[in-house]
Amino acid sequence: MRLVAWDTRPRCDQLPAWGQLRALSQRHAGGFDLRGAFAADAGRAARFGQEAPELFADLSRNWIDAATEDLLFDLARQAGVEAHRDAMFAGEPINNTEQRAVLHTLLRAPAGAPQAGAAWDQALAEVHRTLDAMLAYAEQVRADAAITDVVNIGIGGSDLGPQMVVRALDAYAAPGRRLHFVSNVDGHELAAVLRQVRPASTLFLIASKTFTTAETMLNARSALAWFQAQGGTDVARHFAALSSNVPAARAFGIASIFGFWDWVGGRYSLWSAIGLPIAIAIGAERFRELLAGAHAMDRHFRSAPLAANLPIRLGLLDVWYRNFMGFTSRSIAPYHSALARLPAYLQQLEMESNGKRVDRHGAPVPYGTSPVLWGEPGTNGQHAYFQMLHQGTDVVPVEFIAVREAAHTLPGHQAALLANALAQAQALMQGRADAGGHRDFPGNRPSTFLLLPALTPRSLGALIALQEHRVFTSGSVWGINSFDQWGVELGKVLAKDIEPRLSSGAADGLDAATAALLGRLRG
C-alpha cells in the first residue's frame, strides 16, 4: 500500500499531544465545572462563540477551556489533519482501501474554479455538464402539470440525503406535486406509496450508482410491474435513472439517465444527480443555492486557521469527548420540524464513515472511534428522552440546532419554540438543587448550540458541509478511512444465502439459532 506524506505519522495515541490531553482529562475526572468556568470568565460565551458561513456556533457550554482546545489543535497538527484535508481537495486517493479520490466537494465548486491539475479541471467541467442536464430535466418535470407524484427509489445515501433535504426545504417546494421516498426492501413501504399514486401522473426515479443495489432493484422491478399492470406503457417518460450503469438502466427501459463518479461516496452524493428529487422539489435556482452554501463552508474548512475553523473545532471536540471524557454518544436536537430527518441523515454520515475498528492500514485501533448519534426534533424530544439527558446516570453531549426566522406566520409558535431550545440548553448546564432528590437536576451537562438565521437552501448546504468536514476531522485524527463501508457487506452476503432457504427449508451449515428461526418462519 502506497504511503503519502499525510499518512506517515504515528498513530494518534502515540503523539505527544495525546498524552498531554490524557493527563489533562485526568484532572477533570470528576467532570469539568461548567458553572465555575462561566463564573471565572465573563468573556467565555464570546470566546467560544464563532461565526461561520450561514450559521453561528456557541461552544461555550462544552467541557473545554482554552488550554484544552490548544492541546487539541496541537493534536490536529501532529496528526496531519491539515495535510490530509489538503490531500482530499487535491484529489489524492485518500480512500485507500478502494484507491479512490474523495471529491464530493467538486460537485459544489463553481464552474471554472481552478483545480489541482488538468484532470480535475476536466472533471469539474463534466460535473457542470451533468449538473446542467439534470437541472434542465428537473425544470422540465416541474413544468409538466401531468406529473403530480415523484417516487424516489433508493437506499442509504440515495435516500437519506435527498429525503432529509426535500423535507427541510418544504417551504420552497412548488405546490401541487408530492415527493415520496421508498428505501426499505419491506414491501409494505412501496405498497403504501403505490396506493397513493396513479401510473399516468407518476415519475419514478431509480437511484443506484451501480444499478445493482439489491433493495433498490427489487423495489424498482416491483414498481415497474405495478406500472405495467395498471396500464402504464411509456416507461421512458415515467422512469428516470440516477446511475453510472447506463447499459443496465437502458435495458430496464429508461432513457433519461444521469450519472456520477466513483469519487462520490453514497453518503456524500446528494450534491450529485442523486439530488434530482431535491431539484424537482425546489427548482434549479434553489438547488444551486444549496450547492453554494456548501461551497462556502468548503472554503472556510480549507482556508481558516485551526482556531477559527468550525468543522475542525467540532471534530476535535468529538475526539475530546469520545477518547478523553468517555462519552459514547451524542444527541442531535433540531428545533425545527422540517429538520426531522436530520438525525437519521447524520447517523449514516458519521457512523458509516467513522464506525471503524481498524486504521487505514488494517491494524486494530485501541481507542474508541465513532460515537452513537441519535435524536428527535424539539420539542418532541423533551417529552421523550430529555428526562435521561437531565437526570440520567450517563452524560450525553447534546447538539441543539435552532433557526431564528420561521417560514410560517402563525403567531406565538416561533417564540415558544426558541424559548424551549434556549431553556433546555440552560437547564442542562445550570441544573437545580433540590433537597428531596427526585427534583434535583445535577446540571453541568455539555451542549453545543448551532443557530441558523433562516432555514434556506444556502444555510442548509452550509450546515450539511459543516457536518461532513467535522466527520472528516475526527476520522483523520483517529487515522481511519472515513470513506469506505465494508461493514455493510457481510449481512448482504449472508442474506443471499438465507433467502432461498426460506423456500427450501435447507438448514445445513447454519448456526443453531438461525436454523431454529428459519424453521419458525417457514412454519
Instruction: Provide the pLDDT for residue 485.
Output: 95
Question: Would the pLDDT of 6 be above 70?
Answer: no
pLDDT at 5: 61
Known catalytic residue: 352? yes
Place of cell 452476503: 493
Q: What is the mean pLDDT of residues 232-251?
A: 96
CA 485/CA 264 separation, integer angstroms: 13
Contact 153/207 with Cβ under 8 angstroms? yes
In 3-state terms, the chain is what percent helix, strand and coil (to 5)? Answer: 55, 10, 35
pLDDT, tens digit, 9 for 90 and up, residues 414-440: 999 999 999 999 999 999 998 668 999
Q: Decide if 492 is catalytic.
A: yes
Residue 67's H or E segment, with its range, is helix 66-79
The helix (H) or strand (E) run that includes residue 496 is helix 489-498
CA nearest 94: which of 244, 243, 318, 265? 265
Taking residue 133's Cβ as centre, other Cβ atoms within 10 Å add up to: 14
The yes-or-no answer on residue 215 being catalytic is no
**pLDDT > 70: what percent of the chain?**
98
Catalytic residue among 361, 383, 413, 496: 383
Rounded Cα gap, residues 472 and 487, in angstroms: 18
Query: What pLDDT, on a 0 to 100 scale, did the predictor assign at position 67?
Result: 95
How much is the pLDDT for 1? 40
For 83-111, write each residue's pLDDT tens digit.
Answer: 999 999 999 999 999 999 999 999 999 99
Distance CA 245, CA 210 (A): 5
User: Nearest-CA neighbor of 157 among 472, 468, 481?
Assistant: 468
Residue closest to 323 by CA, chosen among 369, 280, 286:
369
**Averaged over 270-280, what is the pLDDT?**
98
Q: Any residues with CB less than 8 A from the CB of 21 and at least 6 apart, and which?
A: 68, 71, 72, 75, 320, 323, 324
- Average pLDDT of every residue of the chain: 95
- SS3 readout for 76-91: HHHHCHHHHHHHHHCC
Q: Taking residues 239-250, what's their average pLDDT?
A: 96
The residue written with cell numbers 433540590 in the block is 434
Of the candidates 92, 215, 352, 399, the residue annotated as catalytic is 352
Q: What is the pLDDT of residue 398?
A: 98
Mean pLDDT, residues 293-322:
98
Q: What is the mean pLDDT of residues 265-275?
A: 96
Q: How many CB atoms lie within 10 A of CB 511?
A: 8
Banded model confidence at residue 117, pLDDT cuts 50, 70, 90: confident
- Residue tagged active-site, from 285, 492, 496, 499: 492
